[in-house]
Amino acid sequence: MRDLIVPKRLCAGDTVALISISGGRAGDPDMLARYKTGKSRLEEIFSVKVIETPHALMGSQFIYEHPEKRAEDLMWALQNDEVKGIICIMGGNESYRVLPYIDPQVIHDNPKVFMGYSDIATWLAVFMYAGVRAYYGPNVLNPIAQPGSLDKYTEEAIRKTLFTGDVIGEIKPCERYTNTNWTATSGDEIEWMENTGYKVLQGEGKVQGRLISVCGGPLWQIMGTRYYPSKEMWEDSIIAIEHGMAFNSESDFTAYHQLSSYAASGAFDKAKAILTGPLTEKMEEILLKVINTEIGRSDMVIIENVDFIHRVPMTVLPSGALTEIDCDNKTITILESGCR
């Protein structure tokens, strides 16, 4: 993988722009209060000034109908000298429609912290194409605005990755987790479950590689475009892959076709490892079928139940960061800082 430009870290007092570059629910009447909770938490916990990009709160219908305005918002935030970082308000399902309207050179020339997950995986691929590190991590509506309070695991991951120049170090599994909840209004309504930690599905010893974070459906949508990672980008990578496997929310048929499409693109040929969320027994079988039988990579390390998926809490994964997996001790360690 070629080296990526590493953005400057955020500091107290910096201005952070919130963007609806995928879905636009933050501007809908029933979601506005949750958005305001997330905005105020960012201000209070991290001591930053938070603003919205010009169209961020125009509502889901407007955002869907105007992909060109989403592109304008990204270009605006990148070229605005006041803005030091960009955090996505939410994911969605059709970021690919924005791509014709963006200029990747603007991303390259204005490297800034850019963080989000789910459909935002499309944008991590775009930033990587432009040669700039981005961050697969919390969106504003979830988990930053989760009912009750921002959990310490997520808070510390954001702070260490985006607000310091320190080596990130070991990413430990969370002690407890909860699924995304869009209806609860207080922390008392949230059900937390004990976490079982990482599971080594296959592999032994230590491997090192550079992180690529992807979400199955969004990456599927950009295959055939210039933004889909090249074989060079996949080489020696650790692929953090999230898709329907995590919760068995898709059919076995769809999960298989997603994985096999990545295999056909060469994504797994020279990768070092795969990180994923918790898998059902059936999904483990599908993953091993593709990796071991279809591309002959029984040597590839696969670690399950890593905290970067659609649940709370979440860690932050910086694109291109050198990372070590120790299968024997079940540890994942990022060997460099998230920002400079």
**Domains by residue range for the chain, with CATH:** 15-167 (3.40.50.10740), 188-337 (3.50.30.60)
Beta strands, E only, the chain = 15-19, 49-52, 83-88, 113-116, 135-136, 167-170, 176-179, 193-194, 199-202, 206-215, 237-242, 273-275, 301-304, 311-312, 317-318, 322-326, 331-337
CA distances from 135 to 3, 6, 181, 296 (A): 15, 11, 23, 31
Residue 2 has pLDDT above 80, yes or no: no
Mean pLDDT of 33-51: 97
* pTM for this predicted structure: 0.96
Q: Which amino acid is at 157?
A: A
Q: Residue 290 corresponds to which tokens in the numbers above?
A: 């593709």
Higher pLDDT, 238 or 1: 238
SS3 239: strand
Question: What distance in Å separates the CA atoms of residue 216 and residue 118, rounded to the nearest whole number?
Answer: 9
Instruction: Give the model's pLDDT for residue 185.
Output: 78
Other C-beta atoms closer than 10 Å to the C-beta of 164 total 15
Instruction: Give the model's pLDDT for residue 245.
Output: 45
**pLDDT tens, residue by residue, 228-270:** 999 999 999 999 998 654 444 556 778 888 899 999 999 999 9
